[in-house]
Amino acid sequence: MTQVHPTAILSPQTELDTDVVIGPYVVTRGHVRLGQGCRVDSHAVLGSEHGRLEMGEGNYVHSGAVVGGAPQDLKYNEEPTSLIVGGNNIFRECVTVNIGTESGGGVTRIGNNNLLMAYVHVAHDCELGNHIVVANTTNFAGHVKVEDHVRIGGVCSFNQFITIGRYSYIAGDSAVNKDILPFTIAQGKYAVSRATNKIGLERAGFSKSEIENIHRAVRFVLMGERTKEEFLEKILEDCEPSDSISHLLQFIRNSTRGIAK
């Protein structure tokens, strides 16, 4: 049964599915839709006057979070843009997530089963995938893409228009201004990929042979003075074909900001 605390203030456009729990002093603004089993703790603010927030099932928004607020972009002129959130995400205390901008495609997206710890900021037009963990006080500028199964330490900063590759690990207190290669550990100011994320891949269930295959490909990129064309050719020649290798090759080919190495 859905429960709404009597002190909550919900906009007329708010839609609540079954078993939603709205705590004390929660405020919703504009078009807000919460899926089945969502929980919103006290003093959280959802949505904005001109935007649309859609959240799937089982999300948990903790106290003081502001999810679906207007972009911090001077070009934003109250266009009707959106934040689309999947299911089973956790937004801890004072997390802020902004809706998209018209010039950036109009949508900020967050997938499923993610944990954003306290004071994380996700700016307009970002795209976060699935099974991501982001530690406290990390900030994403606009238009950042984070692929699936990424782990990010606390107090990290991410420049606009960069991509963080799947199964990568970003060490705490890093500043990232280029694309982070999938399956790697990155660290520094500015961060560079320093090694294959072998422990993370092992924990994720990758076979030993595939981890070594990925490691071989990563070394071709990070070690030596090869050009992009040269290390792509080495990966094709010396690594066993697999979904991971295909993704790595495609990631490198699609990089516009350059690989952090």
Catalytic residue annotation = 124-125, 142
Pairing of strands 191-196, 175-176: unpaired
37: Cα separation from own chain's centroid: 22
State the DSSP string of the chain.
--EE-TT-B--TTEEE-TT-EE-TT-EEEEEEEE-TT-EE-TT-EEEEEEEEEEE-TT-EE-TT-EEEEPPS-TT------EEEE-SS-EE-TT-EEE---GGGTSEEEE-SS-EE-TT-EE-TT-EE-SS-EE-TT-EE-TT-EE-TT-EE-SS-EE-TT-EE-TT-EE-TT-EE-SBBPTTEEEEEBTEEEEEE-HHHHHHTT--HHHHHHHHHHHHHHHSSS--HHHHHHHHHHHS---HHHHHHHHHHHH-SS-B--
How, if at all, do strands 184-188 and 21-22 pair?
Answer: unpaired
The whole-angstrom separation of Cα 85 and Cα 196 is: 30
Radius of gyration of the chain (CA): 20
